Structure 1
Amino acid sequence: MARTEYQQELTELRELVLEMSDLVCHRLKQALEALETKDDGLAEAVITGDHEINERYLEIEQQCVDLLALQQPVAGDLRFIAASFKIITDLERIADLAVNLAEYTQRAERDRYGDVDVGYIGERTVEMVEMAMAGYEADDAATAHDIAATDDEIDTLCANASEVVVRSLIDVETAAAETERVDEDALLEDVWRMLLTIRDVERVGDHAVNIAARTLYMVENDDDLIY
C-alpha cells in the first residue's frame, strides 16, 4: 500500500468512528426522550436500531485489524489505530446502555419519582460524549481532564438521585406499615427500574471519560486517565 493510500485509510478510519459516534449519540438522545415522554414507539426504534450500530462496530474493527496486520504502524499511527478501536468499543457500549434505557421505558407504567431529573443528567452525559469525540476529531487532548471533572459532577448527581429513590422507598414502606395499602411488587419494580436507569446514565459518563482518556493517550502519549 502506497503511503498516500495508507494515509487515506487512516483518514477514513477517523471518519467512520465519527459517523458511528453521531449515530450512537442520536440513539442515546432518542432513548432519553422516550424515557422522558414515555414514548414506547421511540423506545422500540432505539432497540431495533441497535443492530446497525453493531454492524458498524464490526466494520470498523475489521479496518483496525487490517491496518495493524498489513501496515504494522508505529508511534503516533499505532496509538491512533489502537485508540480508535478502544473508542468504538466504548461507543458500542453506550449504544447498549441506550437500549437499556429504551427497555426501561417500555416497562414503566408510572412516574413515581418526579424529583429525580434523569433527563438533565442524561443530557449532560451526551454533552460529555460529544465533547470527547470532538477532541478525538481534532487531535485535541486539552479537554480530557475537563471531561473527567464533569464526570465527578455526574457521579454526585447520580448518587443524590439514587438516595432520593431509596428514601422514597423507606417512606412508602413506613406508610404501608400503617395503612397496608401498597403493591409491594410494583413498588420494588419501580425502585429497581429507576436505580438501573440512574446507573446506566452514569455509565455513559464513564465511557465518555474512557474516550477522552484514549484521545489524551493518542495525542500526547499520556496514559494518566486510562484505568
Structure 2
Amino acid sequence: MDNATYQREVINQAGLDMLNLSMSQLDKAKEAFINHDSDLAEEVMNIENRVNALDLKIEKDCEKFIALYNPVAIDLRFIMAVRKINYDLERIADHAYGISKYVTDSKNKIPSKLLEAVEFEKMYSTIVLMFENISEAYQNKNVKTARKVFKKDKILDEINLQSFQVIESEIKKDNNIIAEALLVFSVIKKLERVGDHLKNVAEEIIFYIDAEVLKHNKKK
C-alpha cells in the first residue's frame, strides 16, 4: 500500500469515526431529553470537545492530502465529499449539544403525553434509520441505500410542519406546560435540521460514488 492509499484510508476511517460519534451524541442527547437526565446531558456537552478535535483533524488531513498527492478524478471527489460530510456531521453533533443544554438549563421533565402528541419517537426512530442508511452507504459505497435517506427526510419535514398546531392544541388543553411545550418545539426543529444534514451527507456520498450532483439536477 503506497502512502497516498494509506492516507486515504486514514481519512476514510476518520470520516466513519465522526459518523459514529455524531450518532452517539445525538442518541445520548435524546435519552437525556426524554428522561431529563442532566448527568447524561453533561456527558454529551463534555464530549463536544472530542467532536471538535476530530473535526479539525479531518479538515487538516484532507488539506494535507490535497497538498501532497494532488488528487484527481475519484480521489478528488472523495476528499471533497469527506470535507462536506464532516461539516454536516459536526453540525449534527452541535444540535446534540444544544438539546443537552436545554436539559441542563430546564427544571422539569417533558410530559410523555406531549412527546407522544408531536410523534417524537417516530421522528427520532426515522433519524436512526437514516443514520443506518448513511453508514451502510458510506462503508459499502452503496448509492441505492444512500437514496433511501431522501424519502425518510420527508417524514421529518411532515412532523415538523404539523408540530406547531399540535403543540398549540396541547397548550390549550393545559396552559401549565407552556415552557415544556416550547422546549419540545425547539427540539423538533433541531431534529428536522439533523434530517437536512443527513440528506446532505447522502447527496455527497452519491456525488463521490457516481459524480452525481443532485442539487443541480434539472427536473425532467
Q: Same fold (TM over 0.5)?
A: yes
Query: What aligned pairs does 1:1-227 form with structure 2 within 5 A after superposition?
Result: 4-106=2-104, 107-112=106-111, 113-114=114-115, 115-172=117-174, 187=178, 189-225=179-215
Kept in 1, the 8 Å contact 2:160–2:188? The answer is yes
- By how many angstroms is 1:50 displaced? 0.4
Gaps in structure 1 of 5+ consecutive residues: 174-181
Residues 66 and 125 (structure 1 numbering): CA distance in 2 closer, same or farther, change over 3 Å?
same
- By how many angstroms is 1:170 displaced? 4.3
Gaps in structure 2 of 5+ consecutive residues: none
Residues 226 and 138 (structure 1 numbering): CA distance in 2 closer, same or farther, change over 3 Å?
farther
Kept in 2, the 8 Å contact 1:162–1:198? The answer is no
- By how many angstroms is 1:117 displaced? 3.4
Aligned residues: 213
Matched letter for residue 86 of structure 1: K
- By how many angstroms is 1:172 displaced? 4.7
The percentage of counterpart residues that share the same residue type is: 27
Kept in 1, the 8 Å contact 2:35–2:109? The answer is no
Partner SS for 1:142: helix
- By how many angstroms is 1:100 displaced? 1.2
Matched letter for residue 215 of structure 1: I
Matched letter for residue 140 of structure 2: A
Please give the root-mean-square deviation of Cα atoms over the aligned residues, in Å. 2.0
Partner SS for 1:109: coil
CA deviation map 1:74-101 (0-9, x unaligned): 1100000000010111110000011111
Kept in 1, the 8 Å contact 2:136–2:145? The answer is no
Matched letter for residue 9 of structure 1: Q
TM-score (norm 1): 0.86
Residues 10 and 226 (structure 1 numbering): CA distance in 2 closer, same or farther, change over 3 Å?
farther
Matched letter for residue 72 of structure 1: N
- By how many angstroms is 1:159 displaced? 2.1
Residues 108 and 200 (structure 1 numbering): CA distance in 2 closer, same or farther, change over 3 Å?
farther
What residue number does 1:178 align with? none
Find the aligned partners of 2:153 and 2:139 in 1 and give their Cα distance: 21
Find the aligned partners of 1:130 and 1:89 in 2 and give their Cα distance: 19
CA deviation map 1:40-82 (0-9, x unaligned): 1101100111010000000011000011112111110000000
